Amino acid sequence: MNEHNDQKFLEIQGVHQSFATAKGEFVALRDINLTVKKGEFIALIGHSGCGKSTLLNLIAGLAQPTQGTLICANKEITGPGPERAVVFQNHSLLPWLTCFENVYLAVERVFGSSARVGGKSAEPKAKLKERTQAALEMVGLSHAMYKRPGEISGGMKQRVGIARALSMAPQVLLLDEPFGALDALTRAKLQDELTQIVAQTQSTVVMVTHDVDEAVFLSDKIVMMTNGPAATIGEILNVELERPRSRLQMAESLDYQRYRKSVIDFLYTRQAHVEKQA
Ligand SMILES: Nc1ncnc2c1ncn2[C@@H]1O[C@H](COP(=O)(O)OP(=O)(O)O)[C@@H](O)[C@H]1O
Ligand SMILES: [Mg+2]
């Protein structure tokens, strides 16, 4: 891929999204324009109900925009694809399968006999197993591979969800509040792990969050959304903190505090009382 494409790896152009509801048309998103570079880590932040998941689902190809275009690696997004793997807040694992089997299912669908398109041949079973193990190892779950979701903690379930996404070797990792349901310590640990994994895989990441610290700690860019209805991008903050970032350093960094304050100011001052402005 040439440099030009890398600069515009993911492009969202003039996206509007409305839904037909019992009370008539509901405009969720308007005028969304965003360009993401290859390897960039983007956080989408905004108040609950502003349309973060709606936007992520559009990138995932799980929904089609009412207007506008989404492009990934020079191809229009017209549906879900293994090059764009999603991790949801509620892990969505199959409870009757082991962690290994949950991940293997995704690997088989992308690299196995069930879904080889474009003339590529299916990989042998041993190779599929190897991919599955490698993904689980990357999230530190080798020891729990043969446990079922009901036998492991919430943090571990989210790790399996991340392993499943990584196992597809996606070009873009889409995360919808993946750590939202976890306690603060587990969340911090998984954030640290995620930064290490992304540094290793060089994935492009779009992560939905409503946690200011999570956004600043992880991202290269924070895309701040206005309140709905008809939400749009209010501001984009470039986070120019050196990597690797350590939690301890961040706690003392004035730059970190400044970024944090900008996001808080946007969320709680400028977007706090949208009803009054409207
Ligand atoms: N399929 C749908 N039909 C009708 N309204 C929807 C649908 N999906 C989302 N919405 C509405 O769009 C708005 C944005 O939702 P969502 O993207 O889930 O917000 P967020 O993830 O930021 O909390 C909300 O008001 C929600 O009720
Ligand atoms: Mg959401």
**Owning domain of residue 148:** 94-169
DSSP-derived letter for residue 245 is -
In angstroms, the CA 70 to CA 77 distance is 6
Per-residue pLDDT at 2? 55
What distance in Å separates the CA atoms of residue 148 and residue 2, rounded to the nearest whole number? 43
236 and 160 assigned to the same domain: no
Q: Are residues 263 and 206 in the same domain?
A: yes
- Atom 6 of ligand 1, nearest CA residue: 19
**Taking the model in full, what pTM does it have?**
0.94
User: For the domain that residue 53 is a member of, what is the CATH number?
Assistant: 3.40.50.300
- Which residue's CA is the nearest one to ligand 1's atom 23? 49
Residue 51 shares a structural domain with residue 79: yes
Q: How far apart are CA 21 and CA 106, in angstroms?
A: 34
In a domain, 88, yes or no: no
Do 223 and 123 fall within a single domain? no
pLDDT per position as a tens digit, 209-241: 989 999 999 999 999 999 999 999 999 999 999
pLDDT at 113: 85
7: pLDDT strictly greater than 60: yes
Q: How far is the CA of 246 from the centre of ligand 1 (A)?
A: 35
In this predicted structure, which of 90-104, 184-198, 263-277 has the lowest mean pLDDT? 263-277
How far apart are alpha carbons 129 and 25 in whole angstroms?
A: 47
pLDDT at 179 (0 to 100): 93
Contact 197, 170 (CB under 8 A): no
Least distant ligand from the CA of 49? 1
Of 169, 190, 215, which residue sits at a domain end?
A: 169
Edge to edge, the sheet with strand 24-36 lists: 24-36, 10-21, 67-72, 75-76
Strands 233-238 and 221-225: antiparallel
End-to-end CA, the chain: 45
At residue 10, φ and ψ (nearest 5 deg) are -125, 125
Q: Is 52 in the pocket of ligand 1 (CB under 6 A)?
A: yes
Tokens 């399996």 -> residue: 160
Inform me whether the pLDDT recorded for 277 exceeds 50: no
Exposure of 247 in the CB half-sphere (CA atoms within 13 A): 12
Instruction: Tell me, yes or no, whether 163 and 180 share the same domain.
Output: no
Which tens digits make up the pLDDT trace of 238-259?
999 999 999 999 999 999 999 9
**Nearest residue CA, atom 1 of ligand 1?**
19
* Structural domain count of the chain: 2
